Structure 1
Amino acid sequence: MRHAARCTAEIREASVALESRDGRTALVCPRLGEVTDVPRIPRRDREGRALMALVCLATSGCAAAAEDDPDAAVDPVVEIVSDEHLCRQDALMSDFWNCGECGAVCEPTEADRCEEGHCACGMSSACGAGADCRFGRCVPPDLAGANCEFDAECTSGQACIEGRCTTVQCDDEACDGIDNDCDGEIDEGEGGPLSEWCSSSPAEELMPPCQRGVRVCVQGEWTECMGEIPPLPEVGLLRCDGRDNDCDQCVDGTLVGGLCISEEPVGYDVVYLMDVSGSMQGTIDDVKEATRSFSARFSQREEFRFGIVLIPSETGEHDFAAIHTNLTDFDSFDAALSTVNANGGYGLEPQWDAVYEIATGELPLAFREDAVRILILFTDEEGQSYRALRGLSAVDEAAMCESLSHGEVLAVVSDPPHVGDFDDCSVVIEMADSEQMERDLDQVISDPCG
């Protein structure tokens, strides 16, 4: 009568401990506290899960079973199974030990990764017979090379391929997830990850304060260009901010015959962004009254144009902003503003979206190229974005601010609890009565460069 099964069950019921030895985590056999020097072998359990097995000497662990039956033939070796490579359905596309399906282990001599559920060597398919996967490429053996078993038996620049010392072709390191230069490291540069200068403009044309940026190789792909200061056209407020935005060595002007000629804006395009949710009717009335006081100042001045964007729109869908009145003369604008009223209580106010879509041109307002763009947002709610409901990228305050690339003036008229959602890149004006609002708006519109 053999008690190997009983002994195995007893050993398996004891937990397989994890101990840290010399900075490494090791599985430790129960009772004996030591692991035999037997390699871990991939295999599957009854449910098809990939397992790694450790073989433990279990003679003393089975002593109790032998005492119960002196005639028992106790099996001295028991297999302890760890879950180090358990199969996970959400990892089948990239798990080297379960590539595409549970238990499908990639052959190390043929592949170095699992890509989309298939074993691969670098960026190519797994190597077939007659080649080994080395440094991200399939390398055929040099049949005239010396016999070998390990790489260390070959000379520098060679590897042991199919039992033959074979010269391995090495190249300069590139950002591709492959060890191109055969130094054992992937996508590495001097002292860290592979990196390089980057610029959206030809490097030879860059003058201070413009500068190149840097991009870094991460998992075989370049990051975006970081730290770059690109030249920007001096339009809008960028014509009067005291900075050389286009990096032509002429601040707020243009070089003509070696002389820096200052250029004033040709006009001012003013857009009212009106939150028309139900709670805004009182503010809308104050805006109308304050704006009427501008009539004597702006009605005959062609350099000023005005437009209206409603937040949300007047259509049946209320998760986006829409143009109510495109940029026009003051009198036409004032007449259109008189028709604007609160919509009765819709709870969606996509203010961040409205500013972003005006700045990016998604809302096609007829801006003049050389005019200063003045955006004035009226709202009593926190910043919001609903672009995701339309399958578009959501916008937050940072994205809204980043979109303002034409020297726009952004002024936000809001209640104090919500100004923090807009103040990173705007002039914040607290809501007030029509008289104070008139003074605040007059300052923003009349002297944006002041």
Structure 2
Amino acid sequence: MAFAGSLHDRFRVTRRRTLDLTAPLTPEDMMVQSCLEASPVKWHLAHTAWFFESFILREFLPGYKAFHPDFVWLFNSYYQTFAAFPEKRLRSSFSRPALHDILRFRTYVDEHIHRLLESNPPAEALARIELGLYHEEQHQELILTDILHAFFTNPLRPVYLPASPELAQQSAQPHADPIRFIPHKGGLHDIGHSGAGFCFDNELPRHRVWLEPYSLADRLVTCAEFAEFIADGGYRRPELWLSDGWNAVQEQKWRAPLYWDRNDDDASVTSKWSVFTLHGAMSFDQVANSPVSHISFYEADAYAHWAGYRLPTEFEWEAAVESSTSPVQNENGTKCQDENSAKHRWEWTASAYLPYPGFHPLPGSLGEYNGKFMSGQMVLRGGSCCTPPGHTRPSYRNFFAPATRWQFSGIRLARKSE
């Protein structure tokens, strides 16, 4: 756990970065909620302040007075035992409070957190501030994810950030080297967070699992490789898909990853594709050898079947990261401006999101942070080009429903060792 002095600096940097991410946006941009998974940027700004007020200041700063009584419930996300809250789908209707009131709320909370840090707070208060900072960084990633979807659904297709001169002039990238499979030993492996440093409750307790020998791909599947799956009728072949996945293909009319557009219906001609990014639309040549992104678990699983492989389990992934021959880079720190050339995407695994043996959620309302979602979700590992540094430790577990496509999610293949 960090000491109070270092938390002062980290708190300032983290809170400032959230505001920096919103700098390219208008107040109108910050009101948009373009899909059920997303939230308006203005809501993210308010909710992250709400977290510090609700779980830290109200409990550990004597005499603290809430900024506004309505904010206590209005910006609650899903903590049923803390307070009532509006339906998530209605967040885009929160035209009031105004943006300047949300920014005042953040300033008010910041001032009181610094006051708390200067008062020699108990260890539990410091631990919760650290949790709050990791929570805010998760929402920084969501701000980028959500605004990309919002701009994609806007007929004008706004650009979040202009591409760098190098990226704007980028033409066809060199072809990716063929995938190599790195063998990993089976046997007993320790899984879960170990040692000092922060982790979420769902990364504990550390425990042992048995793995059969397996091999893991040395890189992610590229856009060009996924285009071959499309050209071979991948979205028209039910034998490749899980039943629920095939239903999603039919109901949602999936024909390509999210944000891929075509000028005609000839899926065999890859040059007709364009891909929408935080820098606007890019030609397929510009992204062909970048990792495919914004696909569901169902699409990742179908591609793996088509290619003759499978997805790794989350335990295989973690054991590979901790091995000396790991093909997985478990720390990125990549800036979102480089999303098309970056090597990192969240990686779907074949593992359902479930508690580890002996798992205990945090006490009180914070116990709802992760544990209540351990049903109907699939685990992703690693991190993406938009994931803040420090979140891509080997034991970190992300999770989404299997049909989710709006996240920066991709594919790493696995197979049984020969």
- Which TM-score bucket, shorter chain as reference? under 0.3
TM-score, with length taken from structure 2: 0.23
- Structure with greater proportional helix content: 2
- Structure with greater proportional strand content: 1
Greater relative contact order (Cα 8 A, min sep 6): structure 1 or 2? Answer: 2
TM-score, with length taken from structure 1: 0.22
Instruction: Please say which structure displays the higher CA radius of gyration.
Output: 1
